[in-house]
Chains A and B, each alone.
Chain A
C-alpha cells in the first residue's frame, strides 16, 4: 500500500513537472546580440578634432562655416556574401561625427540630444586599391576622404563607405562591378557591422539611415534601397535615397556604348563591365566579347593595380590616354557588337544580365532623389529620367528628379575635362542638403 502511494505520488509529480516544463517556449536567441554579428574587427585610423575639421570644412566646403564636427575614421572589417554566394571578408570606412561639449550644451539648452543619423555612401568606380576608402584615409590627424568631410565633418552624419568587394581586405577577390546582388549585399553588411561597432562603442546612433552614391555608387545605392525595402524592411529606418549620375538602365546604356559607330568617352568603365559580367556569369565568355585575346591579362587589369590610363594603354587605347578617341570596336569584337545590337548569342545573354542588374523598374516607397547633371557625357541623364518615369508609373509616393545644369558645376580643365566628374561636388552638396532637410523634418 505504502509503495503504491509513493509510486503513484512520484508519478503524479513527474508527470506534472514534465507537462508544465515541456511548455517552456524556446527563445530566439539568449546569447550575444546577433544584430551586426557579421562584424569582424575595427581599427581606428584617425581621430580629427572639431577645430581641425572646421579648417578642413572652410577650405573645401563652406568658407563661412563656424562649426564642424569631430571626425573619427574607423576601418571596419566584416563578413558579407559575394555574387557567387561565397562568403567573403570585406572592409569599409566608417566615419563618426563627434560633437564638441559646447555644441552638446547648446542642444541641451534646446531640449535636444546629440544623436547620429547614418549615410550609407557608395563611391563611384575606382580602378586601384589606392582609391579605396580605407586606403585614402590615413593616420595623419587630418580628414582625407572628401565625401566624409562633407557628410560627417560638415553635416554631422555618420558616413558608412564600403570599399566594395575587390578592394580593401578583399582585394584578391574579383570586384562584382555593377552586379546588383553582391553590390547591395556588401553595402548592407557594411551598415550592419557599422551599427554593431557604434552600439558596442556607445555612439548615439539614432537608427535613421540615408543612402547615397554617385555613378557606380548611384547604381549600388538604388540596388541597396531595393534590397532593404523588399527583403530587410524591419531592419532599418530608411529615410531617403539620393542616387546620383547612376546607370539605372544598363541595357539602354549598352545600346549606346556597344555600337561600332560610337566613340567611347571612358573605355575603362566598359572594359570593367565586360570583365565583371564574364567573370561572374558562366554563360558569358570574355573571349567572345572583347578584342583582347589574352583573357587572363585582361582580367588582371581590373585587379586594383592599374589606373585607368594604364588599363587603356594595355588594351591598345593609347591616344589621348584612351579617352574620347576610340569607337566601341576598339574594345569589343565586332561579332559581339552585332550580337548585342541584334540580341543574339552572347549579346542576348549580356542583355538579359543587364536587365537583371538594372535598378529602375521597381516601386520604392522611401523618398528618392535622382540627381544628375544634364550634360553628363558618360552616364546620360536619361538614365535618371527613366528611373524617375518608371518609379512614378509604379506609383512610388515621393520621387524627385534633380537635374543640374552645367552652369552650376565647375568649368572643364585639362585635368578634369568630364562633366560626369565635375558634377560630383554639386551633386553631393544637393544630396546632403536634401538629407539634412529630411532629418530636420522640413520635407
Chain B
C-alpha cells in the first residue's frame, strides 16, 4: 500500500508544474511551509525539517517521522495589455493553470551513538508553466514549462547540545517544454538529472529561541532533448538540443522566538541568487536553417538579479491543535529590460494560514492555504510596451503526518 502511494504521488509530481513566488522557485514544499508563508526554517520540528532545515532533525523526537503532503495550486490567467515590437494594441490573457503537487518527507530516529539523524525529502522545489494561446505572446511563449522534482537525502549531527549541523545531497530531475508558434515554430522537449548540495545550521541558545541558517547550492539544469523547428508547415529541423537554466542558490537566515503562551514568531530573510540566470541559449546538435538563427539560436539575454524575500510566520500551539499564519514579501528577479511573456514576474505579497490537528500520538493531519498577489507591472523594453496584471495564485496544502 505504501509503495503504491509513493508511485502515485511521484508520478503526479512529474506531471505538475507551477509558476509561483519570485522567478520559478517554489519555497513552500510542505503544508507547514504553506501555512507559514515559508517562515518554517528556525522552528521547524515536523518531518518537513528534512527539507526546510535538516539541522533541526536532531532536536526532534527519537522515532521515525514521515509526512505526505498534497498541494493544490491555482494560478490566474496573467493579462497583458499593450503593444509588441512597436505594433498593435493587444489585450490578451495567459491560460489559467491548476496543479496538484505532492511532497514526501522522512526523518529517521537517532542512528548510533553519535545520534545522527537521516532525512529524506522528495519535493518540487521549482517550476514554471506559462501558456499563451494568443499572439503576439504565442510567438515566443505558446508554452513554456519547466518541471523540477528533487530527491534530497540529508544527514544531521549534534555539534553541541545547542548547535547542530546538516548536509544533504540534491538529486534534481528536470524536464522542460518550450513551444512557440508564428511563421516559424519551435517544439522542444527535454530532461536532465543534475546534482547539488545543501547545508544547514541550527542554534538553540535557550528553550525559546531558535536560529537557523540554510543554504542550497545552485544547480544548473542541463536539459537535453529534442527540438522540432518548422517554417510554416515545413519541418526543417528534428534533432538534438540542449538548454541550461539555473535552479539558483538560496540562503535563508531565520530566527524564531517562542513566548510562554506557546506562541512562536519566526522571521526569515531569504536571498536567492538569480543573477546566475544570464541568458537563455538553445544549442542544437546540427546546424539549423540560417533564417531561424535570430529567432531560435541566438542567446536571449535574461540578466536576472538576485532577489530577496522577507517572511513572517506565527504559530500558536494549543493542546492538540496548532494554528499558523504567515506573510511574505517577494522581490522579483526579472529586470524590465529582458522581461518576456514566458516569465512576466513582478514583486508580490502573500498571506497564509493553516492548522494542524494531532489525532493521537502517531498521526496528525493539517491543512494550510496561501494567497499570493503579484503587483501589476508596467514594462517598456525592446519588444514589450504595456502592463501585466492579474498574476495571482492560490495554494492549498494538506498533510498527513505519521510517527512510528
Q: How far is the CB of A191 from chain B (nearest CB, A)?
A: 10
User: Interface segment, A15-23, A49-57, A87-95, A394-402?
Assistant: A15-23
Q: How far is A24 from B288 in the complex, measured between Cα atoms in Å?
A: 26
- Against B, the Cβ 8 Å flags (1 = close, 0 = not) of A7-34 are 0110011011101110111011111111
CB pair B235 A2 closer than 8 Å? no
Q: Given contacts A33-B237, A207-B234, are A16 and B120 in contact (CB under 8 A)?
A: yes
B225 lies within 8 A of chain A by Cβ: yes
Q: How far is A27 from B224 in the complex, measured between Cα atoms in Å?
A: 9
Residues from chain B with Cβ under 8 Å of A20 in the complex: 10, 13-14, 122, 149, 151, 173
Q: Residue among A30, A198, A205 with the most chain B CB within 10 A?
A: A30
CB pair A234 B291 closer than 8 Å? no
CB pair A28 B226 closer than 8 Å? yes
- Against A, the Cβ 8 Å flags (1 = close, 0 = not) of B89-128 are 0000000000000001010110110000010101000000
CB pair A9 B173 closer than 8 Å? no
- B288 to chain A: closest residue by CB: A199
| Chain A 228-249 interface residues, beta-carbon cutoff 8 Å to B | 233-238
CB pair B234 A202 closer than 8 Å? no
A35 lies within 8 A of chain B by Cβ: yes
- Against A, the Cβ 8 Å flags (1 = close, 0 = not) of B6-39 are 1100110111000000000000000000000000
User: Interface segment, B187-195, B210-218, B320-328, B354-362?
Assistant: B187-195
- A1 to chain B: closest residue by CB: B109
A6 lies within 8 A of chain B by Cβ: yes
Q: How far is the CB of A366 from chain B (nearest CB, A)?
A: 11
Residues from chain A with Cβ under 8 Å of B285 in the complex: 30-33
Residues from chain A with Cβ under 8 Å of B108 in the complex: 5-6, 9
- Against B, the Cβ 8 Å flags (1 = close, 0 = not) of A172-210 are 000000000000000000000001001110111111110
A392 lies within 8 A of chain B by Cβ: no
CB pair B11 A23 closer than 8 Å? yes
Residues from chain B with Cβ under 8 Å of A5 in the complex: 64, 108-109, 111, 118
Q: How far is the CB of B99 from chain A (nearest CB, A)?
A: 16
Q: How far is the CB of B54 from chain A (nearest CB, A)?
A: 14
CB pair A13 B111 closer than 8 Å? no
Residues from chain B with Cβ under 8 Å of A25 in the complex: 175, 189, 191
Q: How far is A27 from B226 in the complex, measured between Cα atoms in Å?
A: 6
B219 lies within 8 A of chain A by Cβ: no
A135 lies within 8 A of chain B by Cβ: no
CB pair B286 A21 closer than 8 Å? no
Residues from chain A with Cβ under 8 Å of B286 in the complex: 32-33, 199-200
Residues from chain B with Cβ under 8 Å of A426 in the complex: none
- B192 to chain A: closest residue by CB: A24
CB pair A237 B239 closer than 8 Å? no
- Against B, the Cβ 8 Å flags (1 = close, 0 = not) of A413-438 are 00000000000000000000000000
- Against A, the Cβ 8 Å flags (1 = close, 0 = not) of B202-236 are 00000000000000000000001110101111111
Q: How far is A8 from B120 in the complex, measured between Cα atoms in Å?
A: 11
Count of residues in A whose CB is under 8 Å from the partner chain:
46
Q: How far is the CB of A158 from chain B (nearest CB, A)?
A: 13
- B240 to chain A: closest residue by CB: A30
B287 lies within 8 A of chain A by Cβ: yes
Q: How far is the CB of B173 from chain A (nearest CB, A)?
A: 6
- A35 to chain B: closest residue by CB: B238
CB pair B235 A235 closer than 8 Å? yes
CB pair B240 A237 closer than 8 Å? no
Residues from chain A with Cβ under 8 Å of B14 in the complex: 20, 23
CB pair A9 B120 closer than 8 Å? yes
CB pair A19 B7 closer than 8 Å? yes
Q: Given contacts A20-B13, A28-B238, are A237 and B231 in contact (CB under 8 A)?
A: yes
Q: How far is A206 from B292 in the complex, measured between Cα atoms in Å?
A: 9
B3 lies within 8 A of chain A by Cβ: yes
B61 lies within 8 A of chain A by Cβ: no
- B290 to chain A: closest residue by CB: A202
Q: How far is the CB of A115 from chain B (nearest CB, A)?
A: 6
- Against B, the Cβ 8 Å flags (1 = close, 0 = not) of A214-235 are 0000000000000000000111
- B231 to chain A: closest residue by CB: A207
- Against B, the Cβ 8 Å flags (1 = close, 0 = not) of A94-114 are 000000000000000000010
Residues from chain B with Cβ under 8 Å of A209 in the complex: 234
CB pair A15 B6 closer than 8 Å? yes
| Chain A 317-347 interface residues, beta-carbon cutoff 8 Å to B | none
- B150 to chain A: closest residue by CB: A20
B171 lies within 8 A of chain A by Cβ: yes
Q: How far is the CB of A23 from chain B (nearest CB, A)?
A: 4
Residues from chain B with Cβ under 8 Å of A198 in the complex: 289
Q: How far is A28 from B153 in the complex, measured between Cα atoms in Å?
A: 33
CB pair B235 A234 closer than 8 Å? yes
Q: How far is A34 from B229 in the complex, measured between Cα atoms in Å?
A: 12
Q: How far is the CB of B92 from chain A (nearest CB, A)?
A: 26
CB pair B120 A27 closer than 8 Å? no
Q: How far is the CB of B288 from chain A (nearest CB, A)?
A: 7
Q: How far is the CB of B252 from chain A (nearest CB, A)?
A: 24
Q: How far is A35 from B237 in the complex, measured between Cα atoms in Å?
A: 6
Q: How far is A20 from B152 in the complex, measured between Cα atoms in Å?
A: 13
- Against A, the Cβ 8 Å flags (1 = close, 0 = not) of B276-317 are 000000001111111100000000000000000000000000
Q: How far is the CB of B8 from chain A (nearest CB, A)?
A: 9
- B228 to chain A: closest residue by CB: A28
Q: Given contacts A35-B235, A35-B238, are A203 and B290 in contact (CB under 8 A)?
A: yes
CB pair A27 B190 closer than 8 Å? yes
Q: Given contacts A27-B189, A34-B239, are A6 and B111 in contact (CB under 8 A)?
A: yes
Residues from chain A with Cβ under 8 Å of B236 in the complex: 35, 195, 199, 205, 207
CB pair B238 A34 closer than 8 Å? yes
Residues from chain B with Cβ under 8 Å of A16 in the complex: 6, 10, 104, 120, 122, 151
Q: How far is the CB of B263 from chain A (nearest CB, A)?
A: 34
Q: Given contacts A2-B111, A5-B118, A24-B175, are A29 and B240 in contact (CB under 8 A)?
A: yes
Q: How far is A87 from B237 in the complex, measured between Cα atoms in Å?
A: 23
Q: Given contacts A24-B191, A27-B226, A237-B232, are A205 and B153 in contact (CB under 8 A)?
A: no
CB pair A206 B106 closer than 8 Å? no
CB pair B106 A12 closer than 8 Å? yes
Q: How far is A236 from B233 in the complex, measured between Cα atoms in Å?
A: 6
Residues from chain B with Cβ under 8 Å of A28 in the complex: 226, 228, 238
Beyond the given pairs A29-B238, A235-B235, A237-B232, 14 more chain A to chain B contacts, judged by CB atoms under 8 angstroms and listed by A's residue number, are: A13-B120, A16-B10, A20-B151, A27-B191, A29-B226, A30-B225, A32-B285, A32-B286, A33-B285, A33-B287, A35-B238, A199-B287, A202-B287, A204-B291
A-B contact pairs, 21 of them (CB 8 A): A5-B64, A9-B118, A12-B6, A12-B106, A13-B120, A15-B3, A16-B122, A17-B171, A19-B11, A20-B13, A20-B122, A24-B173, A27-B191, A29-B239, A30-B225, A30-B241, A31-B285, A33-B238, A202-B290, A205-B236, A209-B234
- A contacts, CB < 8 Å to B: 1-2, 5-6, 8-9, 12-13, 15-17, 19-21, 23-25, 27-35, 113, 115, 195, 198-200, 202-209, 233-238
Identify the 6 closest CB pairs spanning chains A and B, nearest first: A207-B231, A33-B286, A33-B239, A19-B10, A207-B234, A27-B226
